[in-house]
Amino acid sequence: MNPLVANPPVATPFFFYLLSGIMIIGGILVITRKNAVHSAIALITALLAQAGLYLMLYAPFVAGVQIILYAGGIMVLFLFVIMLISIERTMKERQFNKQWLVGIAAAAALGGLFISVYAKGKSLFPEGHPLYPEAQNTQAIGALLFDSRTGMYMFAFEIASLLLLVAIIGAVVMAKKRI
């Protein structure tokens, strides 16, 4: 039993395989659907299943942010754009290009990685790294970002927000001819 949680988690393998299965099926549907809106809905399903996986890893804050930002924010804008595209034309277009060589190489590399991870198993992942209990996850992230003593990621955080600001200004400049 994990000493970090008051109640031991229930049916962990079941939920892990369920969520992973939903994610994989969603991912496959994203690239195989011809209709872009169907792809987007499949992607949202996959992203929500991922949020569930974060919850299983005792990272509720990351899960919440995943739902708000990706499923709620970004995907809505995706759908917004996709809806304005003519579906008839995209249905006629060829969906896959014939890059067999690159495809086989990439698949082999990824497959090799998976097999090696599966073979080595547990030794790859450190056992005793500090894990925050569920009730302190949000506070711990806040302390890592903003605390005056432990806030070691503040600079990276601010730089990332600056990057977003640049993107916003770029969008405004491109959209508005006269400012």
Partner 1 sequence: MNSSLLQSIVDYVQSYLSSNQTPGVAGNWFWATVYVLLVFAGVSVGVICMNWLERKILAHMQVRLGPMRVGPHGLLQPIADALKLLLKEDIIPAEADALVFWIAPFIVDLAAFTVFIVVPFGPAHAVTDMNIGILFMLGVSSLSVLGIVTAGWASNSHYPLIGALRSSAQMVSYEVAMGLAVVSAIMMTSLSAEGGTLSMIGIVQRQQEQQVWFVFKFFPLGLVAFAIFAIAMIAETNRAPFDLPEAESELTAGFHTEYSGFRWSLFFLAEYAAMMAVSSIAVTLWLGGWLRPFPNALHGATWDLIFSFFPGLTFLFLGGLCFFNASRMPKHPFFKIQTMGLAAFGAVLGLIGLVLFVPGIRERVQDIFWFTAKVAAFMYLYIWYRGTFPRYRFDQLMKVGWKVLLPTGLALLILTAVVAMRTEVWAEVVVPMWLGFADLLRRIF
Q: Closer CB to partner 1, residue 116 or residue 136?
A: 136
The CA-CA-CA angle for residues 69, 106, 31, to 5°, reads 45
- Determine whether 50 is exposed, middle or buried from the number of CB atoms within 10 Å of its CB (0-12, 13-18, 19+): buried
Q: How far is the CB of 160 from partner 1 (least distance, A)?
A: 18
- Determine whether 26 is exposed, middle or buried from the number of CB atoms within 10 Å of its CB (0-12, 13-18, 19+): buried
Q: Closer CB to partner 1, residue 27 or residue 132?
A: 132
Q: How many CB atoms sit inside 10 A of residue 48's CB?
A: 19
Q: Closer CB to partner 1, residue 114 or residue 146?
A: 146
Q: How far is the CB of 40 from partner 1 (least distance, A)?
A: 9
The terminus-to-terminus CA distance of the chain in angstroms comes to: 61
Determine the distance from the C-alpha atom of residue 50 to the mean position of all C-alpha atoms in its chain, rounded to a whole number. Answer: 6
Interface residues with partner 1 (CB under 8 A)?
6-7, 10, 35, 37-38, 41, 44, 60-61, 63-65, 67-68, 71-73, 75-77, 79-80, 83, 134-139, 148
